[in-house]
Structure formats: C-alpha cells, structure tokens
C-alpha cells in the first residue's frame, strides 16, 4: 500500500503530476490531465528508448487507476544542484537537454520545459529526471521552453566563459534562471558580433522587452517549422559544445604543492584506505576532496561516494577523470564549506540546502583531509563549531589535523599579521577539546614524515 | 483542449521569445549551412577527424546495440 507521507517541496509547479515520499522511496504521481501524453510516450516506446540509452532515469509503473498513475523512478542517493557543478558538468547537462529535445521532436514529442533542475548527476553522468517534462508536438509551433533554456543553461554557460564559473552561483538567487536582459548586459560588447550570441541573447532580450506588456498573451500567433526549430537546437548544441572558459583555469594541481614527500603521500593514502575499509561504509563524502585522489582509493569498497571541493577546476578534473575511468559510483561537486548552498525558492524549500541534503544522504564516513586549518584559520571557525557541522550529518569522521610547524598552517597564520596571537588556540589540545564535545576519538596516528595527525572520530 | 493548454502554460514562454525564434532559426540555418560547406571542403582534402565523444553530436544513435554513454 502506497503511503503519501509528503509531496516533495519542489514538486508543485507542473500540474501534470507531482513527486512524493512513500517511506524512504520517492515516487511520482501522474494526474489524469497528463494521462494522454503519458500513455502515448509509453506505448510509442519513447520512454523505453531514452531509458535504454541512459538519458532518462528508469522508472516502473507501480499502480494505475482512473484517478492517478503512480510510477517509481530509480532512486538517486544525492541530488547536486547546478550551482554546485563545474563548467564541463554544466555543459554536459545542457547538451543532454538539447539531445533529448531533438530526439523528442523526431518522435513527435517536445520537451515542454528546459529547467536545469530536470538534470542531475548519477552513474557518473548527467541524467534527465523529470519523466513528465514531455508533451505532444503540435506542427508549426515554436519551442515553448526556448527562453527557459537560455535562462537556465545557455546564459549561465556563456557568462561563465567571460566571467568564470562563479557565475553559476547566480542560479542560487534566480531559481527561474538568469533574466535574459541581465545576461545581455553582462556580456562584452563584442559578443554582439557573434551571430549565435546576438540572436539568442541580445535580440531575444530586445524582443522580450518590446513584448513585455503582452496582456493578451498572444503566444500562439508565432509559427516555426520543425526544420527551423531543429536548426536552433543544432546551432546551440555546436556552440555550447565548443564553449571554453576564458580564464586560464589550469587545474591547481594542489598535490604538486604538498609539503611532504611522495612516500608520506602514499602512506597517507594507505592509512585512509585501511581506516575506511575497516568501517565497511555504504556511503562516503569527501569534503575538500580536491580531484578525488583520496576518495579514489576506496571507490571499489564503497558503493556511493561524493567528493566536494571549493575549486571548480579540481571538481572538473575529477569529473573528467571519472568519465575516462568509467566510474559510476562517484559524484563530484563544488562546495565552499564556509558557505554551503542554501535552501532556495518558495518557502526556501524548493531546492534543499546542502546541509539538509547531506543529512538525508547520511554518509557512514566523512573525510576531511587537510581541511581543518582552512576552516579554522581562513574562516575563523572555532573548533566546536566545525565539529558540530560534521556531527550534524556523519557517523564517522576521518580528519587530518596539520599541526603548527606544517608549512601551510604557518603560512595561513602569517597572513593574520598583527592578529597572529589571536590564533594561539590552534593546537592539538584545543582541537581535541572542541571535537570531543561531539565525537569520541577512536584512532589517532601521525602520518609518517609529516606534521599531520590523522584522527578517526565517531559521533557520540 | 483547455487542459492541454494549461500544461503548456504553467510557465510563461514569453511572446518575444516565441516570435524571435524565426530569426534565431534563420541565422542558425545560415551558420549550419556554411559549416556544412566547410566540412565538405575539409573532408575533400582529408582534414576531418572523427570524434567519438558522447556529446559530440546532438543526434542520439538509433543503433539498438549502442548505449549512449553507457553504464560500464
């Protein structure tokens, strides 16, 4: 018997159906208003094809009645949001959306919306989540989701090209995508000389402005042939495919700048591997995991791994590496621990905060390697506070504490200049005092050849 | 029919955005045509390279045996 505990907080915009939780299982309810489309998408083999190609999340029909159809999609352990993606991830999500819409058109359907929230990363690749985002194509109609695609995908990507991936964070303040006029105003003047940017952004912004007082909603007067629509899609696809960031984001390659030698590095890897596998975790999150070097040592032993880093270039490096290796159980994402993604949208609940998503994900183990000195010394976060943060979502915590004398710590301290003595509290005793308020120390070992201590902590 | 429209219009597609698509498509058509000509010229001189990346083409392979970016 299906129990509808609660409709999902993000699921109210589209009248075709909604997502709800049945215990821990996420299900999707389809309303009679969408039965015709659903049945056609199903009987034509369209869903089957997209699922087979790994483009759409697989689902099973759970119940069918005259009032509603309930389907159960494959469960995704963790949903990353667009403002947590690296450039290549965002690009791939956009390209996937265009591929799906073009394929839909060829089968007599359309993508009726092009929201960036319809895509997330699963099985090491972007995947389309919203099974009800399709509709039947009406001959000669333009793409209704065109402007949405520009606001959700094309605009942010083009802006990132000129201003860097920080631009993606604008999506946190614009849940419906970045307004076209704003995109146009943020682009350099020379972008008007590019026919794709001129037509898809500058001209669109102008036309939107001109028709902004369209009280009669004469949307249906515009006509566009299927071939023309395909041209728009193909051109956007080619343009996005070739987009590159202007800033030289040669990946930082942090590990070449480590202050310890290769043997200490290998020893640290070995310790992490031994400690993690002894706990036999199902889910692990690596906070500040750079390009996933340490997470990769346990990838074969843990069924699902999340790796975050503040550096978008490191996350991208990790994503590309994971694609090259064909890894399917790791999701890289961008996260600034000092400013994790907030809850956004209506009631601040449409898109959940990172903290809530982490709590729901409930990792068995959290890795925080060479992170605490950044949190404490760059972010001025007291030990008890960061301990409280980690304890809020993780059972076990493997944390590396670089002591005074470690060159990174000393460098961060020097930057405090005349306030350096305000940070005298940064030492092992105070760290342990702060963390034992929330955790028990299970193991404590110095990484050989370094000024760093590795802790295995268990939440009280 | 009312219902059908309601699904479509749960967000505003924007009249300007609907009208502009004809011009966007025309510009895209010109660009795609010229790219196609360039491609043929390059192909004639053997200058094209075959890429096999998942996101190289907008068209999804219809080939039954080939999975798109398959689960490995």
pLDDT band at A252 (very low <50, low <70, confident <90, very high): low
pLDDT band at A109 (very low <50, low <70, confident <90, very high): very high
Number of domains comprising chain A:
3
Domain final residue pick, A218, A241, A264: A241
pLDDT band at A279 (very low <50, low <70, confident <90, very high): very high
**Pairwise CB contact (< 8 Å): B11 & A135:** no
pLDDT band at B1 (very low <50, low <70, confident <90, very high): very low
- Asked if residue A66 is part of any domain, the answer here is yes
Nearest CA to CA, how far is A204 from chain B (Å)?
6
Question: What one-character-per-residue DSSP string does A188-217 give?
Answer: -GGGGGSHHHIIIIIIHHHHHHHTTT-TT-
Euclidean distance between CA atoms A313 and A216, whole angstroms: 47
Q: Which residues 318-357 on chain A approach chain B with CB closer than 8 angstroms?
A: 326, 328
Q: Are residues A100 and A202 both part of a single domain?
A: yes
Contacts 24+ apart (CB under 8 A), A439-445: A439/A387, A439/A390, A439/A391, A439/A397, A443/A275, A445/A271
Domain final residue pick, A241, A265, A284: A241
pLDDT band at A129 (very low <50, low <70, confident <90, very high): very high
Share of chain A above pLDDT 90, in %: 85
Q: Are residues A103 and A56 both part of a single domain?
A: no
Mean pLDDT of the residues in chain A: 93
| pLDDT given for residue A247 in this prediction | 74
**Pairwise CB contact (< 8 Å): A14 & B31:** no
Q: Are residues A377 and A409 both part of a single domain?
A: yes
pLDDT digits 0-9 by tens, A158-215: 999 999 999 999 999 999 999 999 999 999 999 999 999 999 999 999 999 988 776 6
Instruction: Judge whether residue A256 has pLDDT over 70.
Output: no
**Pairwise CB contact (< 8 Å): A241 & B20:** no
pLDDT digits 0-9 by tens, B52-61: 577 888 888 7
Q: In this predicted structure, which of A191-205, A284-298, A396-410, B7-21 has the lowest mean pLDDT?
A: B7-21
Instruction: Judge whether residue B65 has pLDDT over 70.
Output: no
pLDDT band at A222 (very low <50, low <70, confident <90, very high): confident
Instruction: Judge whether residue A250 has pLDDT over 60.
Output: no
**Pairwise CB contact (< 8 Å): A203 & B67:** no
Q: Are residues A373 and A235 both part of a single domain?
A: no
**Pairwise CB contact (< 8 Å): B16 & A210:** yes
| pLDDT given for residue B43 in this prediction | 85
Euclidean distance between CA atoms A396 and A403, whole angstroms: 22
**Pairwise CB contact (< 8 Å): A232 & B16:** no
Q: Are residues A274 and A126 both part of a single domain?
A: no
Nearest CA in chain A to B23: A199
- Asked if residue A1 is part of any domain, the answer here is no
| pLDDT given for residue A242 in this prediction | 94
Euclidean distance between CA atoms B54 and A65, whole angstroms: 39
Domain that holds residue A163: 82-241
Average pLDDT over residues A83-105: 97
Instruction: Judge whether residue A454 has pLDDT over 80.
Output: yes
Euclidean distance between CA atoms A71 and A14, whole angstroms: 16
| pLDDT given for residue B72 in this prediction | 39
Nearest CA to CA, how far is B28 from chain A (Å)?
6
Q: Are residues A313 and A164 both part of a single domain?
A: no
- Asked if residue A248 is part of any domain, the answer here is no
Nearest CA to CA, how far is A292 from chain B (Å)?
19
ipTM of the complex as predicted: 0.79
Token couple for A213: 């007082």
Residue that wins the pLDDT comparison between B45 and A398: A398
- Asked if residue A445 is part of any domain, the answer here is yes
pTM of the model: 0.92
| pLDDT given for residue B3 in this prediction | 43
- Asked if residue A115 is part of any domain, the answer here is yes
| pLDDT given for residue A297 in this prediction | 95
Chain A residues in contact with B8 (beta carbon < 8 A) = 112, 135, 144
| pLDDT given for residue A257 in this prediction | 59
Nearest CA to CA, how far is B43 from chain A (Å)?
18
């Amino acid at each position: 018997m299906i129990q509808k505990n609660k409709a999902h907080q993000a699921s109210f915009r589209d009248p075709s159906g909604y997502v709800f939780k049945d215990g821990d299982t996420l299900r999707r309810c389809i309303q009679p208003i969408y039965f015709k489309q659903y049945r056609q998408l199903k009987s034509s083999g369209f869903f089957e094809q997209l699922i087979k190609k790994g483009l759409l999340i697989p689902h099973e029909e759970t119940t069918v009645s005259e009032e509603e159809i309930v389907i159960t999609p494959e469960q995704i352990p963790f949903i990353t949001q667009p403002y947590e993606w690296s450039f290549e991830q965002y690009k791939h999500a956009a390209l996937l959306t265009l591929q799906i819409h073009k394929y839909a058109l060829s089968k007599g359907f359309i993508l009726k919306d092009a929201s960036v929230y319809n895509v997330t990363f699963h099985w090491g690749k972007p995947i389309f989540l919203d099974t009800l985002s399709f509709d039947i194509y009406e001959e000669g109609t333009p793409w209704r989701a065109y402007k949405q695609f520009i606001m959700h995908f094309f605009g942010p990507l083009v802006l990132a090209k000129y201003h860097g991936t920080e631009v993606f964070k604008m999506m946190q303040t614009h849940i419906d995508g970045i307004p076209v006029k704003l995109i146009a105003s943020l682009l350099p003047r020379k972008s008007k000389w590019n026919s794709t940017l001129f037509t898809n952004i500058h001209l669109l912004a102008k036309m939107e402005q001109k028709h902004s007082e369209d009280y009669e909603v004469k949307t249906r007067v515009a006509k566009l042939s299927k071939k023309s629509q395909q041209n728009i899609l193909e051109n956007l696809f080619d343009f996005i495919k070739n987009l590159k960031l202007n800033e030289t984001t040669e990946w930082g390659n942090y590990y070449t700048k480590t202050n310890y030698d290769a043997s200490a590095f290998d020893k640290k890897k070995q310790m992490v591997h031994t400690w993690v596998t002894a706990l036999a975790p199902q889910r692990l999150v690596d906070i500040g995991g750079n390009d996933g070097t340490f997470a990769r040592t346990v990838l074969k032993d843990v069924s699902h791994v999340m790796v975050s880093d503040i550096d978008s270039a490191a996350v991208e490096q990790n994503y590309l590496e994971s694609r090259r290796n064909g890894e399917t159980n790791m999701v890289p994402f961008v996260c600034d621990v000092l400013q994790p993604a907030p809850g956004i949208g209506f009631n601040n609940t449409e898109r959940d905060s990172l903290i809530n998503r982490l709590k729901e994900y409930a990792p068995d183990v959290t890795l925080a390697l060479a992170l605490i000195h950044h949190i404490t010394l760059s972010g001025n976060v007291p030990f008890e506070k960061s301990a409280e943060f980690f304890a809020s979502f993780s059972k076990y915590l493997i944390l590396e504490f670089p002591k005074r004398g470690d060159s990174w710590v000393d460098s961060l301290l020097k930057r405090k200049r005349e306030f350096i003595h305000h940070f005298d509290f940064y030492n092992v005793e105070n760290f342990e005092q702060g963390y034992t308020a929330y955790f028990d120390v299970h193991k404590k070992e110095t990484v050989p050849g370094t000024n760093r201590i590795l802790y295995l902590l268990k939440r009280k | 029919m009312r219902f059908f429209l309601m699904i479509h219009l749960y967000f505003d597609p924007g009249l300007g955005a609907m009208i502009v698509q004809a011009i966007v498509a025309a510009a895209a058509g010109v660009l795609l045509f010229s790219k196609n000509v360039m491609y043929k010229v390059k192909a004639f001189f053997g200058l094209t390279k075959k890429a096999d990346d998942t996101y190289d083409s907008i068209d999804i392979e219809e080939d039954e045996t080939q999975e798109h970016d398959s689960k490995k």
